[in-house]
Chains A and B, each alone.
Chain A
Amino acid sequence: AQKVTQAQTEISVVEKEDVTLDCVYETRDTTYYLFWYKQPPSGELVFLIRRNSFDEQNEISGRYSWNFQKSTSSFNFTITASQVVDSAVYFCALSRTSGTYKYIFGTGTRLKVLA
């Protein structure tokens, strides 16, 4: 069975602090995709990144970085120098590489960045 765990329900940081959001996944598939989405207060889910299981390189995009470690089944997301606009709920998701491509979502982490 596939499962995604985001153990941090809510995190509060002060602006300019760094923060890491954890994502741990379970799958029996040898190939799969992992995603991060952001849900601001307005409600829509905004796609941030996709990573396939073959690629364990870390990714950096501006203040955002992602650390994929297959050995620990983790795909963690770090925001450097957080800003108030980063306040949102962040979801990690897992999908297969064949079949119906359904997403399995984690329960989300609410990030509050305080000014």
Chain B
Amino acid sequence: DVKVTQSSRYLVKRTGEKVFLECVQDMDHENMFWYRQDPGLGLRLIYFSYDVKMKEKGDIPEGYSVSREKKERFSLILESASTNQTSMYLCASWGGQGGNQPQHFGDGTRLSIL
């Protein structure tokens, strides 16, 4: 089974801090994704990466950046955390061809910005 591991289940940070959320997958997948989940809005794509050092903006990239230095690790960075970034963050990986394989998700990180 694919294992996607997010470094923290719960995280509390202060406004203005630089925050790192880490995600590691163990299946040598090329594609990795970061989503945020908010009540009534579902999951929205922040950034994704289709290869090492390659990244593309998703639907809501403002206030975030990402890093993919190694294939198995995809980091989400909040450059200067703000209270409106309090949310559930989900990482996913995908290694299929033609879109017919499902994305595999981590357990999520509940981030609170005070």
Contacts and interface: CB of A to CB of B under 8 A. Distances in A.
Nearest to A35: B102
Contacts of A108: 42
A47 B108 CA distance: 15
A45 B89 CA distance: 12
Contact of A43 (B99, B100, B108): B108
Contact of B107 (A35, A43, A100, A103): A43
Contact of A105 (B42, B88, B100): B42
Interface string A80-114: 00000000000100011110111101111000000
**Contact size class for A?**
20 to 34
A50 B99 CA distance: 10
B74 interface: no
A76 interface: no
Interface of B: 9, 31, 33, 35, 40-45, 48, 50, 56, 58, 88, 90, 92, 94, 96, 98-108, 110
Interface of A: 6, 9, 33, 35, 37, 42-47, 50, 52, 91, 95-98, 100-103, 105-108
